[in-house]
Chain A
């Protein structure tokens, strides 16, 4: 403070700061329409509809992409293993639901534990899985275990200054390891077949619940990225060395946002398992992780809304095109990626935001120029084509 007190020669300038509100009115209106549209689907289509099932899935994918946007778009950590947290969340909830289902629906040999365990030679529910009988406990585990794992991962990597490509490769390996683990220990995880045949929650109430959670996740992400910590995260993304030499413990910030992101992924996974009623090793694998990264990139990094746009657009197109053009739809998807990468490096939302910004800037410039001209005209009492002067000089 003392530095400023001794500087008398400061000229007061116009202190105009362009700041966006936490949630703008237009965002509220548009998202209210979207929420209403999705929320009314069960009534429009009936609760057995495939489109309804897909929409619920897409909501989970949206949260998943949002979690990637937080770490990649805002903090610059490219994780190719975000599906690990999604997968763990999904498997824990699916296991719990499956165990509960098996109690009411005995297997062929009359056992009251999941059928895939029976096929693999188990004679009773393993002791360590017994706590999962309580679904609320399973849900808590499904959220907390991924967050804890993310914390441990963060401490191991970020504290040792491992990031960038190395971090991406490690997370990719993480994802592969989990996938192999699931396939290998099929007595406990269902292996290749995944976990199926349990009572899922598809229907209006759970859809609304998922909508509420999605909105909450968006609000949390917006609040985070909009507060001071958001500015710090972006500064770390832009130049971590400078941030470190500005006194920020960069590793702690990275760990923090990585945990939040893992928690979001796990939330998405847990809801996914409860909604869809089938979980497979693919949901924890590297392919799904990379898919999430692609949704984020196509939608627009560091835009938040891009996660929603990317997930719905790509998965929606996938659904439409695979129905219409069973053989060549993947070509179209490939073309879309190429177009976005080449001509819209900021993603769809990012590019549109750029246009809007450019248009606004031009408008503001125009207004300023008009004002300047008017002020100039008033000062100089601008007469048309030198009329006054000739008038004076006239005899």
Chain B
């Protein structure tokens, strides 16, 4: 039984067809890598799953529920967490508060009123901070962090929310090679307990952690399968020709 099941998904924006009748599914506890050249529709697919855009046509099923057209916060509550391409966090809040505010909870206004964090929750925040190696900077405001640390913090925030499915949109953008490798390790660790859908351009990272790969091209599914098969595929080579990324 697939955790995420996308059927006939179509996205048309002012005449352009970004996604075209896409069928796509991710199983539970899978680490799936989404590949594709620029404009293939990877980020649009992520945005539709997370509720940022409503699809023109098609159905998105998640965990046995039809979540098509739901509000973003309802989709998150159903168990989908999203990491943005650019690090996206609460700049003036401390690193600790960033994680704390993301902790899994009921998110209802009146339950958060006049309440402070419980010791168990605080422990959980510290565990996550140690996991993403930012415990030393717990009290610093998030805008003093470096770019790589921000990406990590956002991953930490997602872990705190503990979703069933994590959508990671190029989490290694703008990192050094070393940072990328460390992030890849972190993602591999996260993937042990969560289902992860990862958009990634860097083939070194994909080789390191990717098992099953889906390649999108012009809004359609091109190839899907184990990494070695995909890399060997003639059509994939054609799409990427001249980019040198798969060599």
Question: Interface residues, chain A, CB within 8 Å of chain B?
Answer: 1-4, 6-7, 10-18, 223-224, 226-229, 231-232, 234-235, 237-239, 241-250, 252-253, 256
Of B96, B126, B128, B157, which one neighbours A246 at CB under 8 angstroms? B157
Inter-chain pairs besides A6-B193, A248-B73, 5 sampled, C-beta below 8 Å: A15-B135, A15-B138, A17-B138, A241-B88, A245-B52
Given contacts A15-B135, A247-B73, A250-B73, contact A228 B127 (CB under 8 A): no
A151 to B140, CA, bound (A): 36
Question: Interface residues, chain B, CB within 8 Å of chain A?
Answer: 50, 52, 71-73, 76-77, 81-82, 84, 88-93, 96-98, 100-102, 107, 109, 112-117, 122, 124, 126-131, 135-136, 138-139, 157, 159, 161-162, 189-190, 192-194
Given contacts A3-B162, A3-B193, A247-B73, contact A10 B131 (CB under 8 A): yes
Say yes or no: B193 contacts A227, CB within 8 Å: no
Of A223, A224, A235, A247, which one neighbours B76 at CB under 8 angstroms? A247
Say yes or no: B101 contacts A235, CB within 8 Å: yes
Chain A residues with CB under 8 A of B130: 10-13
Say yes or no: A246 contacts B102, CB within 8 Å: yes
- 10 closest Cβ contacts across the A-B interface? A247-B76, A238-B90, A13-B135, A229-B112, A235-B90, A228-B112, A3-B193, A18-B139, A4-B127, A242-B88
Chain B residues with CB under 8 A of A223: 114
Most buried by B among A6, A15, A247, A248: A247
Most buried by B among A4, A6, A237, A241: A4
Which residue of the partner chain A has the closest CB to B194? A3
Of B91, B116, B129, B136, which one neighbours A238 at CB under 8 angstroms? B91
Which residue of the partner chain B has the closest CB to A235? B90
Say yes or no: B90 contacts A242, CB within 8 Å: yes
Which residue of the partner chain A has the closest CB to B78? A247
A4 to B98, CA, bound (A): 18
Most buried by A among B71, B115, B127, B194: B127
Say yes or no: A229 contacts B77, CB within 8 Å: no
Say yes or no: A234 contacts B92, CB within 8 Å: yes
Of A10, A238, A244, A247, which one neighbours B93 at CB under 8 angstroms? A238
Chain A residues with CB under 8 A of B129: 13
Say yes or no: A227 contacts B116, CB within 8 Å: yes
A11 to B126, CA, bound (A): 11
Chain B residues with CB under 8 A of A242: 84, 88-90
A15 to B139, CA, bound (A): 10
A256 to B72, CA, bound (A): 20
Given contacts A10-B130, A247-B161, contact A17 B96 (CB under 8 A): yes
Given contacts A17-B138, A18-B139, A228-B117, contact A234 B90 (CB under 8 A): yes
Chain A residues with CB under 8 A of B117: 228
Chain A residues with CB under 8 A of B139: 16-18
Say yes or no: A7 contacts B131, CB within 8 Å: yes
Chain A residues with CB under 8 A of B89: 238-239, 242
Chain A residues with CB under 8 A of B98: 235
Of A13, A15, A246, A253, which one neighbours B109 at CB under 8 angstroms? A253
Chain B residues with CB under 8 A of A14: 135-136
Query: Measured between C-beta atoms, what is the minimum distance from B109 to chain A in Å?
Result: 5
Given contacts A11-B130, A13-B136, A227-B115, contact A256 B76 (CB under 8 A): no
A13 to B76, CA, bound (A): 31
Chain B residues with CB under 8 A of A231: 93, 97, 100-101
Chain B residues with CB under 8 A of A252: 109
Say yes or no: A232 contacts B193, CB within 8 Å: no
Say yes or no: A6 contacts B192, CB within 8 Å: yes
Of A2, A13, A248, A256, which one neighbours B193 at CB under 8 angstroms? A2
Say yes or no: A245 contacts B114, CB within 8 Å: no
Say yes or no: B76 contacts A245, CB within 8 Å: yes
Query: Measured between C-beta atoms, what is the minimum distance from B113 to chain A in Å?
Result: 5
Most buried by A among B72, B91, B92: B72
Say yes or no: A246 contacts B101, CB within 8 Å: yes
Say yes or no: B114 contacts A246, CB within 8 Å: no
Say yes or no: B136 contacts A229, CB within 8 Å: no
Say yes or no: A10 contacts B127, CB within 8 Å: yes
Say yes or no: B107 contacts A228, CB within 8 Å: no
Say yes or no: B113 contacts A247, CB within 8 Å: no
A18 to B96, CA, bound (A): 10
Query: Measured between C-beta atoms, what is the minimum distance from A10 to chain B in Å?
Result: 5
Most buried by A among B90, B100, B129: B90
Given contacts A228-B117, A246-B101, contact A4 B124 (CB under 8 A): yes
Query: Measured between C-beta atoms, what is the minimum distance from B54 to chain A in Å?
Result: 14
Most buried by B among A16, A228, A239, A248: A228
Of B101, B109, B124, which one neighbours A1 at CB under 8 angstroms? B124
Chain B residues with CB under 8 A of A239: 88-91
A246 to B193, CA, bound (A): 19
Query: Measured between C-beta atoms, what is the minimum distance from A251 to chain B in Å?
Result: 9
Say yes or no: A16 contacts B138, CB within 8 Å: yes
Chain A residues with CB under 8 A of B192: 6
* A-B pairs with beta carbons under 8 Å apart, 22 shown: A1-B124, A3-B190, A6-B193, A7-B127, A13-B129, A15-B138, A17-B139, A224-B113, A229-B112, A231-B97, A232-B112, A238-B92, A239-B89, A239-B90, A242-B89, A242-B90, A243-B90, A245-B52, A245-B76, A247-B76, A247-B107, A256-B109
